[in-house]
Structure 1
Amino acid sequence: MADEKTKSAEQPIIFLDDISVTFKTRTGSLFHPNYVQAVRNLTLKLMPGETIGIVGESGCGKSTTANVMCGLQSPTSGHVYFEGEDVTKRTADLRKKIGRVVSVVFQDPATALNPRMTVRDQLLDPLLVHKVGDAAGQDKRIHELIGLVGLPKSALRALPGQLSGGQRQRVAIARAMSLNPSAIIADEPTSALDVSVRAQILNLLTDLKRDLGLSMIFISHDIQTVRYVSDRIVVMNHGQIMEQGPAKQVFEHPQDDYTKLLLGAAPSLLHPNLGA
């Protein structure tokens, strides 16, 4: 039993093995199309209980990497493993497995939620699709989820349009948690929110990670936000990893010029006692 636990702890939840993603652009001709390489020869492992922050400017490849991780994008080359299983060539069964292992919190909760469904139905939907529990068990889980993200039970009767942006993002997080995933991919989860509620959502994600032992990929162009939530930092540019390492090491002793450039845009982070 102990050996199984050790093996599980050592096995990555997600392993991207030398992946590349190439897209055909709208420029060029029919017989001579142009291509853009969004991700180049990227290798990355997400371990149990770990939060990896992926940071970089728009167009650096971080969101494409996240899409490969959650099954929305197939790599042009390389392999993708979920809990040791090769899911590069996805079948219907593998897509269901991916949905149970990894959930996504998208940038804009207003578009991520169905405006015509109540919050209760939004949370029930994944349980029905994956045939989790009976009606009584599903109802109990829905009430657990709404409490988990700090919303009152009365919110279950509301439509997304009746909620604030921060409340909608809490609902999106609750839905992502519905199947007890091993990992959550949060793609710019606070960028569409008012400044006043961003810290609340970051604190919620941090608390969920700590209390439930979640792994997390946190995508952001905001280097301060990434430092706040991450154990390990991956800095991307032009589809490649420029630098990676423990958050403290990357921010206090950056090695790559591009990392130094990003830090230069946020000079307050250079203070060694910040966030200690």
Structure 2
Amino acid sequence: MSTMTTKSATSAAQSSPNAIIELRDVYVTFKSRTGSLFKPHLVHAVNGVSMTVKPGEVLGIVGESGCGKSTTANVMCGLQAPTAGHVYFKGEEVTKRSAADRRAIGRVVSVVFQDPATALNARMAVRDQLMDPLRVHKIGTETERERRVAELIQMVGLPSSALGALPSQLSGGQRQRVAIARALSLSPDAIIADEPTSALDVSVRAQILNLLMDLKNDLGLAMVFISHDIQTVRYISDTIAVMNGGRVVEEGPARQILENPQDPYTRTLLGAAPSLLHPNLGQG
């Protein structure tokens, strides 16, 4: 991470040791289309959020639509700049990140989006979609890239014949496996998975979750897993942060949050949301 070593050493001293990503008292405010031209209404999407993504652990962020969880994730991966607060990446402050910072973060943090149909290029074969990040970051020779692509497709449980397919020729679950393979192409330290199963059939969700868990265990990945379904988050997370109205209303070890929730909103989520997962989740 030589691109970020010129920044103040004091910022590194303020961040949590060994954290991959850390948000410290982050706010994100948007101007809404309501209100007048000179006095637009403000939407406080994220209100004073602090979170830490640690190596090898899964942080689950759960809450209803509009609670700020996806905006928080966008701040983590650099797609959204905070209005206020601080963002640290491996000990260095990157709140106002440069192009070099963004490239460095892109090598270490990858994103898996909700809908693989829109996340993948409809006109590119799977092989090219997996090859593209390697070419952009100038990693390896063409032969080494081909070898890496073959390794990736096997890693996510797809046959090598899928490399020649277009996204439209694959099922939803297969497309999401391709999206996960692409996220893994640069061997990241962390993956941000934003509702990665919500666009899939119920019967496929368990397979994708099990794949993510296997990859986390096999590769030592850190992961931020975002969902409105607290039962899904419960299955996959080490730590859970419950968001409501742009704030973290409760955070702690997954078992503690689920067995002894302290906030009324967490109790409401637990009581209102039956598991959307396939009954065979975790088997096999």
The TM-score with structure 2 as length reference comes to 0.90
Q: Note the C-alpha offset of 1:239.
A: 0.3
In the alignment, what sits opposite 2:265? 258
Residue by residue over 1:2-23, the C-alpha shift from the partner in whole angstroms, topping out at 9 and shown as x without a partner, is xxxxxxx941000001100000
How far apart, CA to CA, are the structure 2 residues paired with 1:200 and 1:61?
27
Instruction: Check whether the contact 1:82–1:101 (CA below 8 A) recurs between aligned residues.
Output: no
1:69 pairs, out of 60, 63, 76, with 76
How far apart, CA to CA, are the structure 1 residues paired with 2:228 and 2:173?
20
In the alignment, what sits opposite 1:82? 89
In the alignment, what sits opposite 1:174? 181
In the alignment, what sits opposite 1:160? 167
How far apart, CA to CA, are the structure 2 residues paired with 1:24 and 1:267?
35
Instruction: Check whether the contact 1:39–1:65 (CA below 8 A) recurs between aligned residues.
Output: yes
Q: Secondary structure at the match of 1:90?
A: coil
In the alignment, what sits opposite 1:189? 196
In the alignment, what sits opposite 2:55? 48
How far apart, CA to CA, are the structure 1 residues paired with 2:57 and 2:169?
35
Gaps of at least 5 residues in structure 1 are: 1-8, 269-274
2:217 pairs, out of 195, 210, 220, with 210
Instruction: Check whether the contact 1:10–1:47 (CA below 8 A) recurs between aligned residues.
Output: no
2:32 pairs, out of 25, 34, 56, with 25
Q: Note the C-alpha offset of 1:151.
A: 0.4
Letter of the 1:15 counterpart: E
Instruction: Check whether the contact 1:70–1:102 (CA below 8 A) recurs between aligned residues.
Output: yes
Gaps of at least 5 residues in structure 2 are: 1-15, 276-281
Residue by residue over 1:18-51, the C-alpha shift from the partner in whole angstroms, topping out at 9 and shown as x without a partner, is 1000000001111111101000111111111110
How far apart, CA to CA, are the structure 2 residues paired with 1:62 and 1:183?
17
Letter of the 2:189 counterpart: S
Residues 1:121 and 1:252: Cα distance change in structure 2 (over 3 Å): same
Q: Secondary structure at the match of 2:262?
A: coil
Q: How many residues align?
A: 262
How far apart, CA to CA, are the structure 2 residues paired with 1:94 and 1:115?
29
User: Are positions 1:141 and 2:141 aligned together?
Assistant: no
How far apart, CA to CA, are the structure 2 residues paired with 1:40 and 1:159?
41
**Alignment RMSD (CA, Å):** 1.4
Q: Secondary structure at the match of 2:80?
A: coil
Q: Secondary structure at the match of 1:54?
A: strand
Residue by residue over 1:169-205, the C-alpha shift from the partner in whole angstroms, topping out at 9 and shown as x without a partner, is 0000000000011100000000000111100000000
Instruction: Check whether the contact 2:17–2:91 (CA below 8 A) recurs between aligned residues.
Output: no
Letter of the 1:144 counterpart: E
In the alignment, what sits opposite 1:101? 108
The TM-score with structure 1 as length reference comes to 0.93
Q: Note the C-alpha offset of 1:267.
A: 6.4
Letter of the 2:31 counterpart: K
